[in-house]
Structure 1
Amino acid sequence: MTFGNPPLRPLLLPRTASPASGVLRGVRAAVLAVLCVLLPMAGHALMETLVALCDNRLVATHYGLYSTVSGLGITLGNLAVGAVWDFAQNHRMEWLTWGALVATGLACAASVIVLARTGILTRRPLLEVRQA
């Protein structure tokens, strides 16, 4: 039976009793509490970024488009990583999957740098509502 993501599995599964189990239990609880705070904050930051990038116009439309594209990207990304993982295991190249993931992360970081240098990511003032 699998439970949770592999990186989070040690935090979520109970462990056998040991002298340090009280300390480990406290550390696990603290890490989970921090995650419970950070994940909603990341979601709020994402929404603020989305509103700023669409100039506070058609926010729901932009959010719907963002959600659709993100869902497709996640699906295609999972399919691609699974295919690379299978290929790497069949050809005894376990480093290939992690290398592809690192290269993807670096490509995304480079894309953000290019967008920032072209000025696309600069914050513009929101439209002001004028009183009649």
Structure 2
Amino acid sequence: MSYEHYKAEKSDLLALVENSQYQSIEKQYEEITSVKQQLLKNRSGKDTSYIYQNSMVIYVLDIAMEQGISLQHLNIKDGHITVDGIGVSDEACRKFIASLQQRLIGLECHGTVKADKEMYTFHMEGSKGEHNSSSREDSSRRNSVGHNH
């Protein structure tokens, strides 16, 4: 790598760092990271459900930000999760739900996507298998991502 190339790269980096949009995004990222660190702090060594629920929140937020999903509702309680949100396409919503299903090990998840005038909304639920209160027929009918258009 030539010195001229290095100087050009350094100049580009300095211009980026001085960009107001870059600074705004970096500030938001730092604030989110700070919240993430607070969530991960262990209140007491014996209360692992608190840590587990907080790590679930972080998984959902991380994947949503990474995939450009807008979350409308997130509820996690007693090993049960519900997530509602909006994506740019049917495929984006399905990818988000599939990503969550992969990350939330130990939970049985299912979700549906609906399209209304080029707006794609989704609803996903998950719960621990042994605590699943729905009937066997109901859970087998809804265990895959639905196709509601």
User: Is the TM-score greater than 0.5?
Assistant: no
Q: TM-score, normalised by structure 1?
A: 0.32
TM-score by length of 2: 0.29
Q: Which has the higher contact order (CA 8 A, sep 6+)?
A: 1
Quick check: which one's strand share is greater?
2
Q: Going by fraction, where is helix more abundant, 1 or 2?
A: 1
